Amino acid sequence: MAQDPRPLQKIVIVGGGSAGWMTAAALSDAMGQSCDITLVESEAIGTVGVGEATIPPIRNFNQRIGIDEATFVKETAGSYKLGIQFVDWARLGHSYFHPFGQYGAEFDKVPFYHYWMRESLAGRIEGPIDDFSMCWAMAKAGKFAHPQADRRKIQSTFDYAYHFDAGLYAAFLRRLSEARGVTRIEGRVTDVAQRAEDGFIESVTLDNGEVVGGELFIDCSGFRGLLIEGTLEAGYENWQRWLPCDRAVAVPCAKQEDITPYTRSTAKSAGWQWRIPLQHRTGNGYVHCSEYISEDEATSVLMGSLDGEPQADPRTLRFVTGCRRKFWDKNCIAIGLSAGFMEPLESTSLHLIQYGILRLIALLPDSVMSPLLAQEYNRQTADEYERIRDFLILHYKATTRDDAELWRYCSAMEIPNSLQYKMDHFREYGMLVSDERELFANPSWIAVYLGQNIVPNRAPAITEMRKAVKVEERFGMIAKAMRSAVEEMPTHADFIARHCPSPLAI
C-alpha cells in the first residue's frame, strides 16, 4: 500500500444503468478533471431499468450535479409525484395516501397531528387524516404546482418527486458525464485481478482482452455483485422472513389521458401491483412471493389489470430483499443493486444509490485507503438500510387481511425489535419515536400507521392540557385554505405541457 497519501488518480465504475451513470455524474461533478473516471458496461448484459418512481431527495441530487428540472423531466418523459396511494393494504376496499409533505399546518406549540388524533379519538372529527394533506388534495384533483417558499402559506406544506423512464435517465446522465470527461468502455468483465499481498482489486479484464486498472472500484453490476460478491465475497443479509416477496413481473402499457401525479400500489393476494404514469406510457408491475403464486399466474394477474394496451412483453425479475454485510470492502464499494435490494414499495432504490454516492464523496479515500473510512461507510449504510427495512415491514405487518396466505403470514410474523419498539409507542399514546437520520420522517409513519388502522389508545397527554386552543376553528381555516389553493392550481397535464413536454409523448 502507498505510504505517502495522495489524491486518487484512477476510479473504475463497473456497470452502467442508473447506478453507474449517477455515480459517474456525481463523481465527475465533485472531482472535476483531477481524477480519471472510467465506466465499463456491456450493452449485451442490459439493466433492470424499472426504477421509475422516486422520493423527494432525488431533487437535491439532480440540483447538486447541475441538472435543470424542466430539462430533466422533458428528457426522461417524466411526470410529477406527490406521494403514493395504497389500495387494499389494510383491508379489501380501503385506501390511504402516503404524502410527500406534512399534515395540516402548525398553529400551536403542539404538532397538528397530535390535535388531529385527540379530536378523532374523541369522535369530534370524521374522515381520515388524508383530508388534511395538501398532497392528497392536489393528487385527487389531478393538480400540480411547485410549493411556495413562504411558510405562512398552505402551499408550502407539500413536497414532490418524479416518475421517469430509468433508461432515459441513465442515457441523460451518460451524456452529462461524458461531457465532463468520463470515459466509457464497452465490454463485459471476464476476469478480476487482485493484489497478492492484501486482496485489493488491481484491474478488470474485458471480453476483448482489454485490461482496465484502477485504485478505487465502484461495483454497479447489479444483482450479480460482480466485484463485491463474485470477487470479494462480502456476504449478504437475507431479510425475506420479513419481506417475503421475491419476484416482480413488469410491463409498460399505453398511457391514459389522465396522468395522475402519484404512484398507486394495490395489494393483491400474493403481493402488490404498482402503477407509475409517465408522459409516454404507464409503468406496471406485480411484486409477489413465489411461495404463494407462480410466475405464470402473477403475469396473468398483471396483464388482466392493465388500463392500457401492453407495449412490450412482460419480464420477470428475481430478487432477495436484503443487503451486503460489507458495502465497502478493501478498495471496492457497491452501489445500487450490487449493494442490496429493497423492494420498490416506497420507491427507495434510486435514493439508496444517491446516498451511497454522496456518502462516498463525503468519505472519499486517498491512496492510503484507510480502513476506518470503510468502517464508517459500512456503519452508516447498514443503519440506513435497516431503517428503510423497518418502514417497509410495517406495511406488511399492519394488515387485517386474512383472505390470502401471504397476508395471514405477514400479520402473524415476528418483526425486528427496532420496529416493534416504534409500534408499541404509537399504539400506547400516539407518539412517534425516530431520529433525524430517518429517511421517512414523522408524516410518513403517521400515514402508514393510521392508514393501516394502527390507532393509538390515547392522544399525547400534552393535548389535554391545552383546552383553550381553538382547534375546531383552526381545522376549518386549514381545510378552507387547502380547497382555495388547489382550485387555483393548473392540472398536472397542463403543468407538464407548459414547462416540460417530452417529444415521446406526442
> Which amino acid does the sequence have at 110?
V
Q: Where are the beta strands (DSSP E) in 125-187?
A: 161-163, 183-186
Residue 297 is given by DSSP the state H
Q: Is 48:152 a contact under the CB 8 Å cutoff?
A: no
**Is 268 labeled as catalytic in the residue annotation?**
no
| Residue 336 φ/ψ region, left for φ over 0, alpha for ψ in the -120 to 50 degree band, beta for the rest | left
Give the three cell numbers for residue 86. Answer: 395504497
Q: How far apart, in whole angstroms, are the C-alpha atoms of residue 226 and residue 166?
A: 22
Radius of gyration (C-alpha) of the chain in whole angstroms = 24
Note the maximum CA span of the chain: 78
CA pair distance 417, 424, nearest whole angstrom:
10
Q: Cα–Cα distance between 438 and 440 in angstroms, integer?
A: 5
| Separation of alpha carbons 183 and 38, rounded Å | 5
The backbone region for 276, taken as left when phi is positive above 0, alpha when psi lies in -120 to 50, beta otherwise, is beta
Q: How many other β-carbons are positioned within 10 Å of the β-carbon of residue 378? A: 18
C-alpha distances in angstroms, 160 versus 73, 104, 118, 350, 495?
13, 16, 29, 15, 14
Euclidean distance between CA atoms 416 and 413, whole angstroms: 10
Q: Pick the catalytic residue: 10, 74, 81, 326?
A: 81
Any residues with CB less than 8 A from the CB of 441 and at least 6 apart, and which?
A: 434
Q: Which pairing describes strands 10-14 and 216-219: parallel, antiparallel, or unpaired?
A: parallel
Q: In 210-343, which residue ranges form alpha helices assigned H by DSSP?
A: 295-303
Question: Catalytic residue positions?
Answer: 81
